[in-house]
Amino acid sequence: MTERVVIIGSGPAGWSAAIYAARASLEPLVFEGAISEENRIRGTLPLGQLALTTEVENYAGFPAANLTQFLETALPKERRQYMAPHSGHGVTGPELMELMRAQAVNFGTRIITADIVSADLSQRPFVLKTSDDTVVEAHSLIIATGARANYLGLPSEDRFKNYGVSACAVCDGALPRFRNKPLVVVGGGDSAMEEATYLSKFASKVHLVHRRDEFRASKIMAARVLDNPKIQVEWSSAVTEVLGDDQHGVTGVRLKSLKDDSERTLEAAGMFCAIGHTPNTDFLAGQIETDDKGYVVYKTPFRTETSVEGVFAAGDVADSYYRQAITSAGTGCMSALDAERWLASQGIH
Determine the angle formed by the axes of helices 325-345 and 12-23, rounding to 10 degrees: 40
Q: CB of 52 within 8 A of CB of 93?
A: yes
* Exposed / middle / buried, residue 1 (Cβ in 10 Å: 0-12, 13-18, 19+): exposed
Q: CB of 89 within 8 A of CB of 49?
A: no
Query: What residues have CB less than 8 Å from 226, skipping those under 6 apart?
Result: 233
Q: For residue 184, which of 262, 273, 244 has the smallest C-alpha distance?
A: 273
DSSP result, 63-106: -S---HHHHHHHS-HHHHTTSPPP-SSS-BHHHHHHHHHHHHHH
Q: For residue 250, which of 217, 227, 228, 273 has the smallest C-alpha distance?
A: 273
Cα 36 from Cα 151, distance rounded (Å) = 19
Catalytic residues, which ones? 168, 171-172
